[in-house]
Amino acid sequence: MIADTPPLVRLTGVSKHYGGVHALREVDFSARAGSIHGVLGENGAGKSTLIKIIAGVVQPSAGELAIDGRPASFASPQAANAAGVVCVFQELSLLPDLSVADNICITRPPRRLGLIDRRAQRRRAEELLARIGCADIDPRLPVKALPLSRRQMVEIAKALGRNPRLLILDEATSALTAADVEKVYALLHQLRREGLGILYISHRMPEIKALCDTCSVFRNGRHIDTFPAGERADDEVVRMLIGREIHSAYPPKPVRTEAPAPVLETRGLRWGQRLADISLTVGRGEIVGLGGLDGQGQRELLLALFGVLRGVEGSVLVDGRPVRIGSPSRAKSAGIRMALIPEDRKTEGLLLPMSVGENITLAALGGMAKAGVIDRKRESDSIARMVEALRIKIGSADAAVGTLSGGNQQKVAIAKWLLTDARIVLLNDPTRGIDVGTKQEIYQLLHDLAAAGTSILFYSTDYDELIGCCDRVLILYGGRVIRTLEGEAITETNIVASALNLETNGQAAEAVPA
Amino acid sequence: MIPLFHRASRQGGLLIALALFVLFYGLYTFEHPRGGSADLIVQNANETFTLALVAMAQTVPVLLGGLDLSVGPLMTMVNCLASHLLVGDGWDLAFGIVLCLCAGLLAGFVNGALVVYGRIQPIIATLATGAVLIGIALFLRPTPGGAVDSDLSWAATNTLFDVADTYGWWGGDLPGWFRAIQSIPVPVILIVLVVLLVWLPFKNSVTGRGCYAIGSSEQAAFMSGVAIDRSKLAAFTLAGFFAAVAGVYLALQTGSGNADTPMAGAYTLNSIAAVVIGGTSLFGGSGGAVASIVGVMVLRAISFCFRVVPEDSPLGFLANPLLQPLFEGVILLGAVSLGAARVFTVKNRLQLFG
Amino acid sequence: MQDFIRSIDRPILVACGFVVLILAAGTAYTAITQGTATFLSPVYLLQQLKVAAFLGVAAAGMMLVILMGHIDLSVPWTIAASAMLATAAGGPEAIPVGLAVGALVGLVNGLGVAVLRIPSMIFTLGVNTVLRGLMVMLTGGFSPTTMATPPMQFLAKTELLGIPMAVFVWALLSLGIVFLLTRTPMGRYIYAIGNREAAAYLSGVNTRLVILGAFTLCGLCSALAGILLAGYSSKAYQAMGDPYLLPAIAAVVIGGTNILGGQGRYAGTVVGTILIVLLQSVLSVMQMPEAGRQIIYGLVIILMLVLYGRGGRPAA
């Protein structure tokens, strides 16, 4: 190790908060050139925010960033690129209708007489694709013709074309086939030999072990530890990831003597490429959790149940009767009484410019109208009731929902569905980006609902929650339920191991082709 | 092999449009007593040119994912302007043409500025500027009138031979290579020139490609560092230019300026239909001006067919001139409806919402 | 008083200000050129109200559609077609036939937009052309010679308490629209769809039905405007609806309704209508030719949009 040259990138005392939520707390972190530095952490640990700051997508709220020992501040991804910092993002930045070559050379294409030199561009694309071992991708194809795995490779080639000195890959292999994963490993090793610094963000331990020479673990926005790869045993790392302390207190789980009557049941649910075969049951008063890595079908399952997806095969039964749910308004209807608190409250759950009251009553409005006229008294009573019950902090119910904090917004989104008196409540990662206090309140709410007989199915990226709230946890992988954990078996180790598709003796399974 | 297949399917819409054109124009040529004759082809080309340019104008904002409702009014305004300026001798004429084209560029640029800096949606911004442009046109020509240089008018609406003849090129003794191409109608030459000298360079420039990028995914374009404002401004300015060319030609063709509001509206609507028929997606990101030219050719061929339907055939009722606006309307509606067929293929209904 | 002013939308205040401005400008003009203040006379103002009624009815329907983030460009020929078919039908069926035509057109528009998901701008433009074609076919290109029936004329021309019936019709319609928008679930859903259709959909709102309903109502309003116009002129005539499209959109937008939908109060549309009618009237007294009028329309729309926060959504 050349200890006296400054690290390629160093963060000192960097914090980032969004409103009341601390994404990063006083992080000191550094990475060197000529190394592959893994960044490990659960969802919400702060990894994404860390690299967004380094890559120029967001500014830190406090602290300093230095490149090669010199202070730096990037106002935009382009500024970061100019300094040699290039990031391959999780959300692809490819333009679907344009060709691979066009995408790779989108910002500074080779030019001739002021116009884009397509032949030179194609050659450049071919070179870059060959470098990452994907010479079989024809640069003339439109990106939308490629499967997700190949698109990710194109994204990597594009990043390479920007001549990075520090290359950041954020969950870059999550969509790749096993073969492509090998190519990426080979490429990264080659780049390391060439002196690039590489930050590799993942929560797949087998990958980190195979690839990285240094590892950093993050948890709850803090940098926990950095160590050379292989120095710590697997279970020690898992403990670091999860932490011994359970930070939230969860309401006690009910003790059941017998399995509750099934309210919601699916048999062989299939949809496109994302749901392969889901069969599950949720009983009366049960809280069932969906776990697993991102993108294994959890979100699609909830959407399918709620009637948003077209072409869903298999059967869904409510109270033992087969039902066809073709739209959310059908899901909401009297015979089924399902509710969905969607993933993105800002674009799917709430109407931000409209008032708190209008948002709360939106789903239940039909029931509050007599002969087509809204009963104003009933409306304001219901609003007041919900605001009080959920302790939503607002000045008045007329305030626009967009002015509320994230936690309060989520409470409004939930209140909306509570008013419909739903029997089956689906939640799509309900506490993401919400402060701890509000999270507690939501857990208590779910507990109370279940105690009153509501069946709850919820997807969370926070394993703590799944452990604390659920009677049962279903781990999804590749659109299937690969493991069901119940009662005492719901432990951190089991969830993480199942999610990573590790057999309990620690061997990694094959990555599922995209 | 595979890239060829993808090229073909990408251009699928365009190929279908070409096939439709061949079908309808073939039908027309077959039925028309003078079908296939040079005179007729020249006449058809003249009738097609103006709309083709307006459709090219419409294409560029559509590539961005927007729409320009001022293309018809812009053409009309330049038409009226041209009816004042296209008189006099050689240099006057040239200057007049340049001035007209500059007027188009300016109007287009204003559209772009309203969208980019005023942050007004293209649809409503161009609706408003369209009204202003019609007003200017009415101001220039409260009643149809004016005049254009008759030589230029004749030359622009006939064949290359007539150009040489009118201006006495080579003293009447035309070289061999020229004689080979002398019967090509001038509008065809003009449109080829516009495509080669203006459209293709734009399409292959970084700014032009930026338009496709924005239409494909404005979010990803932004993340990739595409200069969004610049491309949007350029797109609307170019649209103004094409519409201005159409306006100048219309003046040469009709010999006068006519601030005809319904005609302006009809051109705008037809340009949208042509864009859709040519295969350019209304959501942006794919297609091109050449495809829209083919779209116009299809539209015109269909309307030509209406003229030659034999009255005594089972389709005779189609020849009724009173029915033509209705059929044209139905075809237009059908064309734009086809362009939105994705509603049937989408699997996640959330994607249907903008 | 402060609260009252704050509760009124800023755009409505600005629009009212402009109304006053226009009246002042017009009065100044007549004072200088003729020494009169005709613009402030009750006779004149009542006359303007009557003209405003026709535009106001069309604008009311347009507002419903714009609130959802859509637009209806088939208004011109829905007006004309309803009027022509109403006069052609004659007798007691005249008004129902006219309204039915409007409802049918609105339904077709709604199907294209809600089910086929074709952008409303384009679909309604196409429907407009088809309607025109249909009318040309049916009328042979001439204005129909049948007269407007007595009930139609009654609705438009008869005066009650010195105020023309058309104004009452407009007032009644306005009450209905305000009621719909503020007191019924459908009104709430219209705003919700304009704000974010995905969120409304995921809240279990049957967005298709709401869109269909709103477009149908817009068609009905256009038909009503056509019937009133025909009643006023005693007959229907070609292209009678064309002068109403741009002003209807302008009235809605000037009244503070966001062109992208989700925001706007009906009172604004009323003020916007009055503003446009006064503008038209002042311009014609000043003998401004059609050219100037078009230019001023366009400029006014742009100016208002820029003033109101540029036609985009307010930052959340």
Whose tokens are 């039925």? That residue is B31
Sign of dihedral through CA atoms B135, B136, B140, B144?
Answer: negative
The alpha-carbon gap from C131 to the nearest alpha carbon of chain A, in Å, equals 33
The DSSP code sequence of A466-502 is HHHH-SEEEEEETTEEEEEEEGGG--HHHHHHHHTTB
Mean of pLDDT values over B252-269: 89
pLDDT per residue of chain A (514 residues) written in tens, 0 to 9: 455 678 888 888 888 887 666 788 888 998 988 999 998 877 667 787 888 889 888 888 888 898 888 888 888 888 888 888 998 876 678 999 999 999 999 988 898 888 999 999 999 999 999 988 888 889 999 998 888 778 888 999 999 999 899 999 987 776 677 788 888 888 899 999 998 999 998 766 777 888 899 999 888 788 888 888 878 877 777 677 766 544 556 888 877 777 788 899 999 999 988 888 899 999 999 999 998 877 788 888 999 999 999 889 999 999 989 999 999 999 999 889 999 998 888 888 999 999 999 999 999 998 888 888 999 999 999 999 999 888 888 878 888 888 887 788 899 999 999 999 999 999 998 887 676 777 888 899 999 999 999 999 999 877 778 888 899 999 988 888 888 888 888 887 888 778 776 544 433 344 333 3
Whose tokens are 């021309």? That residue is C157
Residue B256: CB atoms within 10 Å = 18
Whose CA is closest to C256, among C4, C3, C9, C6? C9
Q: Do C298 and B130 touch (CB under 8 A)?
A: yes
Per-residue pLDDT at C314 exceeds 50: no
Whose tokens are 């949809």? That residue is A271
Q: Cα separation of B219 and C74, whole Å?
A: 33
- Which residues have C-beta within 8 Å of that of residue A33, sequence separation ≥ 6? A7, A8, A165, A166, A195, A196, A197
**Contact predicate B2/A145, CB 8 Å:** no
Residue C310: what pLDDT?
Answer: 45
- The one-character DSSP state at A259 is P
How many interface pairs between A and B have CB atoms less than 8 angstroms apart? 82
Cross-chain CB nearest to B216 (options A96, A140, A303) = A96
Whose CA is closest to A346, among B217, C199, C315, C262? C199
* A295 phi/psi in degrees, rounded to 5: 80, 20
Q: Cα separation of B137 and B144, whole Å?
A: 10
Residues of A in contact with C199 (CB under 8 A): 347-351
C28 and chain B: CB distance < 8 Å anywhere?
no
What tokens does A471 get? 């009677």
Provide the strand spans (E) within A175-221: 197-202, 214-219
**Contact predicate B54/B72, CB 8 Å:** yes
Cross-chain CB nearest to C204 (options A352, A363, A376) = A363
Whose CA is closest to B131, among C253, A290, A74? C253
Residues of A in contact with B201 (CB under 8 A): 114-115
The alpha-carbon gap from B139 to the nearest alpha carbon of chain C, in Å, equals 5
Ramachandran area for residue A84 (φ above 0: left; ψ -120 to 50: alpha; else beta): left
Q: Do A354 and C313 touch (CB under 8 A)?
A: no
Q: Do C202 and A348 touch (CB under 8 A)?
A: yes
Chains in touch with C (3+ beta-carbon pairs under 8 Å) read A, B
What tokens does A200 get? 């590799």
Q: Do B114 and C116 touch (CB under 8 A)?
A: no
B:203-242 residues touching chain A, CB 8 A cutoff:
204-206, 209, 212-213, 215-217, 220-221, 223-226
Whose tokens are 């969370």? That residue is A460
Whose CA is closest to C120, among A347, B296, B337? B337
Question: In terms of DSSP bridges, do strands A166-170 and A373-374 run parallel, antiparallel, or are they unpaired?
Answer: unpaired
Residue B200: CB atoms within 10 Å = 16
Residues of B in contact with A311 (CB under 8 A): 347
- Give which of C109, C111, C129 to mutate to test B binding, by max B Cβ within 10 Å: C129
Segment C24-55, tens digit of pLDDT: 877 887 788 777 777 778 888 888 888 899 99
Cross-chain CB nearest to C202 (options A340, A353, A361) = A340
The alpha-carbon gap from B318 to the nearest alpha carbon of chain C, in Å, equals 12
Residue A508: what pLDDT?
Answer: 39
**Contact predicate A463/A239, CB 8 Å:** no
pTM, entire model: 0.82
Between A357 and B168, the higher pLDDT residue: A357
What tokens does A84 get? 């040699």
Residue C38: what pLDDT?
Answer: 73
Question: 3-state class of A338 per DSSP?
Answer: strand
Sheet with A222-228: strands ordered across: A85-88, A166-170, A197-202, A35-40, A214-219, A222-228
What tokens does C171 get? 């007032």
Q: Do C206 and A373 touch (CB under 8 A)?
A: no
In chain B, the residue whose alpha carbon lies closest to the alpha carbon of C197 is B353
Q: Do B206 and A109 touch (CB under 8 A)?
A: yes
Residue B133: what pLDDT?
Answer: 96
- Numbered residues of chain A with Cβ closer than 8 Å to any chain C Cβ: 306, 308, 327-329, 331-332, 340, 342, 346-354, 358, 361-363, 365-366, 368-369, 372-374, 376, 400, 402, 416, 420
- The one-character DSSP state at A168 is E
Cross-chain CB nearest to A97 (options B204, B206, B212) = B212
C127 and chain B: CB distance < 8 Å anywhere?
yes
Per-residue pLDDT at C148 exceeds 80: no
A92 and chain B: CB distance < 8 Å anywhere?
yes
A96 and chain B: CB distance < 8 Å anywhere?
yes
Whose CA is closest to A222, among A90, A466, A86, A39? A39
ipTM of the complex: 0.86
Per mean pLDDT, which range of B183-197, B234-248, C83-97 is the poorest?
C83-97
Number of residues written out for chain A: 514
Q: What element of type H or E holds B290?
A: helix B289-308
- Percent of the residues in chain B that have a pLDDT greater than 70, as a whole number: 92
Residues of B in contact with C62 (CB under 8 A): none
Q: Do B216 and A311 touch (CB under 8 A)?
A: no
Question: In terms of DSSP bridges, do strands A9-18 and A115-116 run parallel, antiparallel, or are they unpaired?
Answer: unpaired
Residue A284: CB atoms within 10 Å = 16
C293 and chain B: CB distance < 8 Å anywhere?
yes
Q: Cα separation of A41 and A44, whole Å?
A: 8
C-alpha dist (Å) from residue A258 to A59, A318, A469, A473, A483: 53, 20, 19, 17, 21
Give, in degrees to the nearest 5, the angle at Cα B82 between B80 and B85.
125
A98 and chain B: CB distance < 8 Å anywhere?
yes
Whose CA is closest to C266, among C139, C135, C177? C177
The alpha-carbon gap from C303 to the nearest alpha carbon of chain B, in Å, equals 10
Chains in touch with B (3+ beta-carbon pairs under 8 Å) read A, C
- Which residues have C-beta within 8 Å of that of residue C313, sequence separation ≥ 6? A353, C258, C260, C262
In chain B, the residue whose alpha carbon lies closest to the alpha carbon of A311 is B347
Average pLDDT value over all residues in chain B: 86
Q: Cα separation of B237 and B243, whole Å?
A: 10
Q: What element of type H or E holds A62?
A: strand A62-67
Segment B93-113, tens digit of pLDDT: 899 999 999 999 999 999 999
Whose tokens are 């997606």? That residue is B281
Q: Do A369 and C184 touch (CB under 8 A)?
A: yes
Residues of C in contact with A328 (CB under 8 A): 201-204
The alpha-carbon gap from A402 to the nearest alpha carbon of chain C, in Å, equals 5
CA quadruple B297, B303, B306, B307: dihedral, nearest 10: -90
